[in-house]
Amino acid sequence: MKNFLLGTVALIALGAAVPAIAADMAPRSYTKAPAYVAAPIYNWTGFYVGGNIGGAFGGGNGFTGAVNNSSSNGKFMGGVQGGYNYQFAPNWVIGVEAQYDWTSNSGATVTFPLAPAYTYNTSLNGLGSVTGRLGYTWGPAMLYAKGGYAFTDRSRSVTGLPAVGVNGNTDGYTVGGGLEYMFTQNWSGNIEYQYYNFGKTTFASAPLDAYGSATSEQHTVKAGLNYHFNLGNFGSGMVPAKY
């Protein structure tokens, strides 16, 4: 009888333990951690083309004692640009850019009080440049500086007898800088200041050579829009990070 009771108690205990053991042996379900989504990486490497509009303003010193009869030194301008960027290190960008802008044909007429029979006429038709660029990026924005070769399309002439020639360069240098913002994968906009210097203009002979020289320079402010080509490893734009 005693053994029967002990056996019954053992069976009851075993029956209570089996469900708990079975629960421990059952496959457990795990909740997956949410996938990591990387922030987009802005890649400036690649070719781009675009257009710009703005204004040009003459500067520098004129001929000593002469009278400039220009109604305004401000000129509307608009043009095109294109170039190539290479991003490295990883926030720095170097590149090269070619740009040409047409200007409204607002020239200047200069008269000479001591030589009233002569008039100097000049007109600026366009400005061009080929420059290097160096920029620093943070996110979609890039602050950059630029500088290099500049050329101008302008006309200069002197009316009066005997004839007096004009000496001066049509090429020179330019420096500037701006802020560019990449607002989609392929499109960016920028605001830019650029200074052009083409040296000095002088007259070749008397009586106008007594008036010395005038500095030929322009200050420009432009807003531009660029399209960036996304060509695989050679493209540019906003590329999702791999993970």
pLDDT tens per residue, range 225-242: 999 997 544 434 444 444
Using one digit for the tens of pLDDT, what is the confidence trace for 27-53? 555 556 555 544 557 889 999 999 999
Please, which pLDDT band fits residue 106 given cuts at 50, 70 and 90?
low
Cross-strand partners of 49? 82, 227
Q: Which residue has the higher pLDDT, 188 or 2?
A: 188
Span 95-104, average pLDDT: 95
Pairing of strands 237-239, 187-203: unpaired
Which pair of structure tokens corresponds to residue 240?
């999702």
Q: Could you give the 3-state DSSP secondary structure of residue 23? A: helix
8 A C-beta contact, residue 189 and residue 227: no
Look at residues 124, 125, 122, 111 and name the one whose alpha carbon lies nearest to residue 63.
Answer: 111
CB burial of 70-90 (b: ≥16 within 10 Å; e: otherwise) equals eeeeebebebebbbbbebeee
Q: Which is more confident, 24 or 135?
A: 135
Residue 52: both structure tokens together: 């710009």
Both tokens assigned to 35: 């996938």
Looking at this protein, which amino acid is placed at residue 171?
A: D
Distance CA 22, CA 194 (A): 79
Q: Compute the Cα dihedral for 22, 24, 27, 30 and give only its sign.
A: positive
Least-confidence region, from 43-47, 62-66, 102-106, 169-173: 102-106
Dihedral of alpha carbons 98, 104, 106, 107, sign: positive
**At the topology level of CATH, where does 41-71+81-125+133-232 sit?**
Porin (2.40.160)
pTM of the predicted model, to two decimals? 0.78
Q: Quote the mean pLDDT of the chain.
A: 82
Domain residue ranges of the chain, discontinuous segments joined by +: 41-71+81-125+133-232
